[in-house]
Structure 1
């Protein structure tokens, strides 16, 4: 009797998987796209708010411009991720470099006495720049199997 139930149970599991896998994939992709649109929308909103504040001041400082570059890089990162479904790690590093540079400029402009903090910010920027170099070098010399398409950049 147990051997008679095994095929029915197996068939039921196969049918359940046949229903659950497409549903799970649909829900996962829906959440993925919703998150991308939310991040993209929030980036546009924050950039517009920063731009309006700059026009209200009547001028834009170098810190303001670097902030707009950060928003641009985040927007580009969202766009690339939306199109390719791959996170461009280099763009995260570019955001970090720009943010550290922005912070360092603001720190120096406030007439802060030169101290170890400036060296830490400069060192962090150098480390991130070296990371970009290593990633670029590695992706050129050791491409992944997915990067075999010559029209597609993975990093």
Structure 2
């Protein structure tokens, strides 16, 4: 059985690693945003694909901030990112896709959106008990 001191040190070490990785994710995302903005300036135009990519980066940053503030990662945030990523993929490559691929991406997007709705409904109708309620 682990001692309380060992357990505390282990948790603290893992929390430190967690914060380091979140910092790396944040820096990499900000770097990617900067590259995308420079790309738009170089080609002197802004396309829908660029905006959707920036939106994905923004959602990643919002997810990191949310996690740092609350200590929890709402599963809906990665689902939103996936929906936008699929929409971006569909918009960019639709002309070169066959009908079955377009259908598969569309169905996948609907499944993800439905999942968000079900999760949100569950949070409203069947919330987790508060920590004080179980004590």
- Residue 96 of structure 2 corresponds to 112
Give the distance between the partners of 1:147 and 1:106, measured in 2 at CA: 46
Give the distance between the partners of 1:98 and 1:55, measured in 2 at CA: 23
Cα deviation, residue 112, structure 1: 3.1
Deviations along 1:129-151, one digit per CA (max 9) or x if unpaired, are: 10010011000001112488xxx
Cα deviation, residue 19, structure 1: 2.9
Does residue 42 in structure 1 map to residue 42 in structure 2?
A: no
Give the distance between the partners of 2:131 and 2:107, measured in 1 at CA: 32
Does residue 100 in structure 1 map to residue 86 in structure 2?
A: yes
How well do the aligned residues superpose, as a CA RMSD in angstroms? Answer: 2.0
Task: Please report the TM-score for the alignment, with normalisation by the length of structure 1.
Answer: 0.78
Task: Please report the TM-score for the alignment, with normalisation by the length of structure 2.
Answer: 0.89
Does residue 65 in structure 1 map to residue 51 in structure 2?
A: yes
Equivalenced residue count is 132
Give the distance between the partners of 1:147 and 1:55, measured in 2 at CA: 50
Structure 2 unmatched ranges of 5 or more: none
